[in-house]
Amino acid sequence: MAPLVEARGVHKSYWLGEKEIHVLRGASFSLNGGEMASLVGPSGVGKSTFLHVIGTLDPPTAGEVLFDGQSAFSMSEEQLAGFRNSSIGFVFQFHYLLPEFTALQNAAMPGLIHRLSKEKAEAQAKEMLEIVGLGHRLDHKPGELSGGEQQRVALARALVLKPRLLLADEPTGNLDEATGEGIHQLLVELNQRLGIAAIVVTHNPRLAERMPRRLRLPDEQAKAEKAQKDVEDAQRALADAQAKLRGQRQIARQAQQEAQRLNQEAQRETQDQQQQALQYQDQQSQQQHQLNQERAQSWTQEQTLSGRVVRKSGDQLRVRTEDQGVMNLDLSGTTAVSVDGRAATADQIQPGSDVRASYQMIDGKAKALKIDVTSNGSQQDQYQEQNQQQQPSTPH
Ligand SMILES: Nc1ncnc2c1ncn2[C@@H]1O[C@H](COP(=O)(O)OP(=O)(O)O)[C@@H](O)[C@H]1O
Ligand SMILES: [Mg+2]
């Protein structure tokens, strides 16, 4: 025997402009006649959507809903509306009672829509209001009833045609806990007493526990949303990291520019220092050159000496000077020689004579240019003796 109701791979999407909200993703389940189940799941998971599709209020995007093995949505709109009215009762979080009508009139409404006579419809309504414990409130309008009583009227209205399936979407969500408990108790009793199959959506796990069967919608949407959120988080983290990287690159570029600038500065400084060093070297070498020139000049400059001849051999005259010690005087290039005021030759110079000579240092030798001699006669031997031991010194 086919189950009372069956869902096969039901998908349901809503479209918000371009955006698809894929709520049900292949939901499958079946419920037998007289069976009762709770339906739980976090808010937004698609519980109401599921009830609407099962209750034939809304066609699925894909998949099938079957009643007694027959595809519900293959019926015409009109057939489906009739089927729904007689076979499925709905209770919602809000009672949706018509405020101008009494409890009895509200509960009789489906009977009237089902084209029962007013008497028959109201008789059935009265019976059902008594079952839900409101036999004493038939003529009250919704505004004159408590929240729990209003929901009981709504329940009586849902059950007035003795449907085979009751779909209750958070029927106690709007009630205080004690009142909600009472409604739940009533639902369980009605299921047992009238044999009406029911699916009750509830957030209250304690109430869900009381149902013989518990259904849970897998939180596909939440999973998808979490995955989407993870992707967005990762994208944000990536964007952050990229921004950070851009910042670091910027800093690195600035550091590089600064390093280049410092390097150039250092190079300029080094160049300046080298320049200065070169100038200094230049100065030094100029000074050195000058010094050398001066020295060279001093070497070749004409100088004079005066002293006494201590020895003579060939062109070489050894003279004991007054201030430069003993000097050798080279006579080979001497142009002018005078002895006692008369022009003479080098041969005529005798040891012991006093000499005044001008000379030039050439190649370490004092070359006599002009030499004036005053002869001293007998003293010559004595001088020779005295100065025999002395070492010659070269001027410097
Ligand atoms: N008519 C609609 N149009 C667009 N989105 C809807 C519609 N009905 C429900 N939704 C969306 O589908 C998802 C499931 O909603 P619903 O079935 O009411 O969840 P639940 O009853 O489990 O809280 C939610 O994200 C909701 O915003
Ligand atoms: Mg809902």
CA distance 350 to 373: 9
* pLDDT at position 296: 63
Q: What sign does the dihedral 201-203-208-213 (CA atoms) show?
A: positive
Q: Is the CB of 353 under 6 A from ligand 1?
A: no
| Residue 283: band (very low, low, confident or very high) from pLDDT cuts 50, 70, 90 | confident
* pLDDT at position 141: 97
362: pLDDT strictly greater than 60: yes
Q: Is the CB of 49 under 6 A from ligand 1?
A: yes
* pLDDT at position 78: 93
| φ/ψ (deg, to 5) at 127 | -60, -45
153-160 mean pLDDT:
96
Spell out the residues 6+ positions from residue 118 whose beta carbon is closer than 8 angstroms to its own.
108, 112
Q: Is the CB of 202 under 6 A from ligand 1?
A: no
The CATH H-level (homologous superfamily) assignment of domain 301-386 is Nucleic acid-binding proteins (2.40.50.140)
65: pLDDT strictly greater than 90: yes
* pLDDT at position 173: 87
* pLDDT at position 382: 47
Domain ranges of the chain: 5-224, 301-386
- Cβ count within 10 A of residue 353: 22
Maximum pairwise Cα distance, the chain? 192
Which carries the bigger pLDDT value, residue 179 or residue 294?
Answer: 179
Q: Is the CB of 368 under 6 A from ligand 1?
A: no
163-170 mean pLDDT:
96
Cα 221 to ligand 1 centre (Å): 10
Strand 213-216 and strand 19-31: pairing?
Answer: unpaired
393: pLDDT strictly greater than 60: no
212-225 mean pLDDT:
75
202: pLDDT strictly greater than 50: yes
Which carries the bigger pLDDT value, residue 320 or residue 228?
Answer: 320
Among 7-21, 226-240, 376-390, top mean pLDDT goes to: 7-21
Best probe residue, ligand 1, of 12, 21, 22, 92 (max atoms within 8 Å of C-beta): 21
Cα 21 to ligand 1 centre (Å): 8
For the CA of 16, the closest atom of ligand 1 is 4
Residues in the chain: 396
Instruction: Give residue-wise pLDDT tens across range 256-265.
Output: 888 888 888 8
**Chain CA centroid to CA 293, Å:** 74
DSSP 125: H
Q: Which of 215, 98, 117, 211 is nearest to 157 (CA)?
A: 98
Helix or strand (DSSP H, E) at 337? strand 336-339
b or e along 27-50 (b: 16 or more beta carbons within 10 Å of the residue's beta carbon)?
bebebeeebbbbbbbeeebbbbbb
CA distance 124 to 107: 9
First and final C-alpha spacing in the chain: 143
Cα 219 to ligand 1 centre (Å): 13
The mean-pLDDT minimum among 38-47, 62-71, 155-164, 267-276 falls in 267-276
**Chain CA centroid to CA 124, Å:** 71
Q: What is the CATH number of domain 5-224?
A: 3.40.50.300
* pLDDT at position 61: 96
218-233 mean pLDDT:
73
Cα 203 to ligand 2 centre (Å): 10
Q: How many helices (H) and strands (E) does the chain have?
A: 9, 16
Q: Which of 214, 197, 148, 143 is nearest to 175 (CA)?
A: 148
Spell out the residues 6+ positions from residue 345 whose beta carbon is closer than 8 angstroms to its own.
337
Please name which ligand lies nearest the alpha carbon of 46: 1
| Residue 297: band (very low, low, confident or very high) from pLDDT cuts 50, 70, 90 | low
For the CA of 49, the closest atom of ligand 1 is 17
3-state SS, one letter per residue, for 34-72: CCEEEEECCCCCCHHHHHHHHCCCCCCCEEEEEECCEEH
The DSSP line for 127-170 is HHHHHTT-TT-TT--GGGS-HHHHHHHHHHHHHTT--SEEEEES
SS3 203: coil
Q: Is the CB of 48 under 6 A from ligand 1?
A: yes
Return the axis-axis angle of helices 118-131 and 147-159, rounded to nearest 10°.
Answer: 130
Q: Tell me, yes or no, if the pTM score tops 0.75.
A: no
* pLDDT at position 123: 97
Torsion of CA 250, 254, 259, 263, to 10 degrees: 130
Cα 54 to ligand 2 centre (Å): 14
CA distance 208 to 287: 113
Percent of the chain at pLDDT exceeding 90? 46
